Chains A and B, each alone.
Chain A
Amino acid sequence: MARESLADIDVAGIVNGMDARRLGIYIVVTLFIAFFLAPLEAGILTAIKTDASISQTVPFLPPGADGVTAENVGTAFDQLYGSIINSLVMAIPATLITIVFASMAAYGLTMIDWRGQVGILVLFLIGVFVPYQAVIIPIDKFWYQVFPLAEMLEPVARLKLVEPGHLQLVPLTITHIAYGIPIVTVLFRGYYQSMPTSFIEAAKIDGKSLTSIYKDIVLPLSKPMFGVVFIYQFTQIYNEFLFSLTIIKYANATAATMTLVLSGIGASISGVDYGLRMAAAFLAALPTLVLYIAFSEQFAKGLQTGGA
């Protein structure tokens, strides 16, 4: 911070130079705002235009009064509503369970000193970076041939609590938990490493057990991190597509998630149903967009330590 204000003061000496320079910076900053928002802005405007208006007006300019319609948003809502619920029903428990497991793993791998820790940690780190293509055929074979969990759970559906079609969300949730553990563990580990060790040393000397150290000291101290990790991992799971495609497979399945249904809306490049496509894209993105606008700082923190 000191560096920045100092740079300003120094440049302020040459008043004209500073003005030109500041102006230049503002122009560049504004151009990049336009660059990053252009697809979103054009998309939102297209979503509320009539088909006629879409082909008559420039995509990034608002339509005339007679060119506005809520029809696309309505149609998109009808098509996507169920799948957004499915995505939430799957992503929220998946995120919470991943966080519990990963926090424990990170505690076991950070707070306690033992040899061989680095080896285990490297195995977790490779798990973060493995391209899912390298495990996607096994995921398909596992849930459909080796351990068809959704089929096995069908008796549960007879209790009339859930529709049988929704049971496919169970293997999908488990898959997300299993592949989410490495990255969330790495996120928690970074946080636990930066925590002051003096508390833990003192508690150890007091004869506290590892469990009570975890429950009474580490967990309360890591509350802000739980927020960061939840925002990060929920966004990842809600936005994920490859696992849904492999486990649920069809956009018209009862258990189809948001990304699966959205990918099929306006499937061909040459179609003209852009109004519907854009409306659907924004409805689908709404949960994560709201979360991002409310907690962008936590989201950025998660990215900085965890990666994309």
Chain B
Amino acid sequence: MATHEATGESVADSVGWRTKLRYVLNGDFVRSLPYWGIPFVIMGIAVYGGIGYNIAISLTDTAGIGPVDWSSLDLEMYSQALSEPSVHRAAVNTFVLLVAFTAICLVLGLFLAVLLDRQFRFKEQIQMIYLLPMSLSFVVTAKLWVWMYDAEFGVINVVLGLFGIDPINFLGNPSFSLAAIIFALIWQFSGYTMIVYLAGLRSIPGSQFEAAQIDGASTVRIYLRVIIPQLKAASVSAAVVLMVFALKTFTFLYALTGGYTPPKGTDILATLMMREAFNNVQWAYGAAIATMLLIMALGVISPYLYYQHKQGSL
């Protein structure tokens, strides 16, 4: 029986290969290929080719000028990075930045969204003002905040002076610098979380609010118990975007000082990696730290993509 079936199939195969080929060629995969194929190849070379090349470089001992030296491949750069105190400090700072920045942006953005989720005059214009910092380059906002934090004449110290607080050198003092940078980044990003939450709030039918109100619930209670729990999807996607940003925030720190060395106490893995590679020309070592950053980013993205897939929204 088994042999008979097998021959039957192969006969059908040889007879029908033209039909099959025509079927495949007319199939949606092949017909859609001209549309997504070229962009996919360009993107694939840049993103996945780049990642592969970076990992390959991280296995070598390449340093200084000249081409990549492929003669000895090992994980030495990784073990060196993992035992380096500067990497540990940068990892701690990255983690603090990631957690504080993401959490405060989410809370403040939600607060602003709820605040603007009602009718009043100039609502659109106010929204626009809150979101305005997002349209600026980090280089521009870094320049603005260096001035804001100036130890002598900066706005922050002038305002603190009104309360009798002595001037603080925010960016020069390691015990304040990281908090100061997180604060500036929150200034820039909370408008973004607000916009994401506003879209989420708009998708919740007003009847729910109405029903809870008839039950006699206060506005605060309705938001806490009925509305906010429904903003889970908006929170998750905003959190992912913020966390991935926190991992790679290099531009802002570079522009604060105009160089690869950020203010004392604010070195994160992204700035450390750029400094090791482009300033100290330790290409392989920088590439190893870059791979560690990539793994962290994937650690954030993978659960998100899985969640999206389970929700059926991919």
Which A residues have a C-beta under 8 Å from some C-beta of B?
1-8, 10-11, 25-26, 28-29, 32-33, 35-40, 42-43, 46, 54-55, 58-60, 101-102, 104-105, 107-109, 111-116, 118, 120-127, 129-142, 145, 175, 177-179, 181-182, 185, 210, 214, 235, 238-242, 245-246, 258-259, 262-269, 274, 277-278, 280-282, 284-285, 288-289, 291-293, 296-297, 299-300, 303-304, 307-308
A101 near B39 (CB under 8 angstroms)? yes
- One of A3, A26, A258, A277 near B143 (C-beta < 8 A): A277
Interface centre among B143, B146, B245, B255 (most CB of A within 10 A): B143
- One of A40, A137, A142 near B283 (C-beta < 8 A): A137
Contact string, B273-309, partner A, CB cutoff 8 A, digits 1/0? 1100110000100110011011001101100010001
**B69-77, B83-91, B188-196: which one contacts chain A?**
B188-196
List the A side residues contacting B45 at CB < 8 Å: 178
A263 near B258 (CB under 8 angstroms)? yes
| Measured CA separation A39–B31 after assembly (Å) | 53
B42 near A308 (CB under 8 angstroms)? no
A239 near B43 (CB under 8 angstroms)? no
| Measured CA separation A254–B187 after assembly (Å) | 34
List the A side residues contacting B191 at CB < 8 Å: 36
- Name the interface size band of chain B: 35 or more
List the B side residues contacting A28 at CB < 8 Å: 115
**B5-13, B14-22, B150-158: which one contacts chain A?**
B150-158
Residues of chain B in range 19-45 having any CB-CB distance to chain A below 8 Å? 27-29, 31-40, 42-45
Nearest A residue to B271 via CB reads A133
List the A side residues contacting B145 at CB < 8 Å: 39
Given A1-B206, A304-B195, 14 more A-B residue pairs with CB atoms under 8 Å apart are: A3-B207, A4-B206, A36-B130, A42-B144, A43-B144, A46-B147, A122-B314, A130-B51, A137-B54, A137-B283, A245-B278, A263-B254, A267-B257, A297-B124
B32 near A108 (CB under 8 angstroms)? yes
B259 part of interface (Cβ distance < 8 Å): yes
| Measured CA separation A264–B240 after assembly (Å) | 31
Interface centre among A36, A121, A125, A242 (most CB of B within 10 A): A36
Ranked nearest first, the 3 interchain pairs of A and B with the lowest CB-CB distance are A3-B206, A108-B35, A267-B258
Q: How far is the CB of B81 from chain A (nearest CB, A)?
A: 14
| Measured CA separation A217–B191 after assembly (Å) | 35
A-B contact pairs, 11 of them (CB 8 A): A6-B206, A6-B213, A32-B112, A59-B154, A125-B314, A134-B290, A181-B43, A268-B258, A269-B263, A296-B135, A304-B199
Nearest A residue to B206 via CB reads A3
Q: How far is the CB of B259 from chain A (nearest CB, A)?
A: 7
Q: How far is the CB of A262 from chain B (nearest CB, A)?
A: 5
List the B side residues contacting A178 at CB < 8 Å: 42-43, 45-47
Given A131-B248, A267-B257, A289-B135 in contact, is the A101-B47 Cβ separation under 8 Å?
A: no
Q: How far is the CB of A85 from chain B (nearest CB, A)?
A: 16
Chain A binding surface, main DSSP class: helix
Q: How far is the CB of A147 from chain B (nearest CB, A)?
A: 11
Q: How far is the CB of B141 from chain A (nearest CB, A)?
A: 7
Q: How far is the CB of B278 from chain A (nearest CB, A)?
A: 7
A2 near B35 (CB under 8 angstroms)? no
B143 near A138 (CB under 8 angstroms)? no
- One of A40, A132, A134, A265 near B144 (C-beta < 8 A): A40
B137 near A241 (CB under 8 angstroms)? yes
A133 near B134 (CB under 8 angstroms)? no
List the B side residues contacting A10 at CB < 8 Å: 213
B36 near A120 (CB under 8 angstroms)? yes
B97 part of interface (Cβ distance < 8 Å): no
List the A side residues contacting B247 at CB < 8 Å: 131
- One of B117, B119, B297 near A134 (C-beta < 8 A): B297
Q: How far is the CB of A33 from chain B (nearest CB, A)?
A: 5
Interface centre among A107, A124, A130 (most CB of B within 10 A): A130
B78 part of interface (Cβ distance < 8 Å): no
Q: How far is the CB of A143 from chain B (nearest CB, A)?
A: 12
Q: How far is the CB of A178 from chain B (nearest CB, A)?
A: 3
Q: How far is the CB of A251 from chain B (nearest CB, A)?
A: 9
B210 part of interface (Cβ distance < 8 Å): yes
Q: How far is the CB of B180 from chain A (nearest CB, A)?
A: 12
B259 near A135 (CB under 8 angstroms)? no
List the B side residues contacting A3 at CB < 8 Å: 205-210
| Measured CA separation A288–B139 after assembly (Å) | 13
Nearest B residue to A235 via CB reads B135
- One of A59, A118, A141, A265 near B158 (C-beta < 8 A): A59
List the A side residues contacting B46 at CB < 8 Å: 127, 135, 175, 178-179
List the B side residues contacting A262 at CB < 8 Å: 137, 139-140, 143, 255
B131 part of interface (Cβ distance < 8 Å): yes
| Measured CA separation A108–B213 after assembly (Å) | 47
List the B side residues contacting A274 at CB < 8 Å: 147, 150, 153
A137 near B143 (CB under 8 angstroms)? no
Interface centre among A40, A122, A179, A300 (most CB of B within 10 A): A300
B129 part of interface (Cβ distance < 8 Å): yes
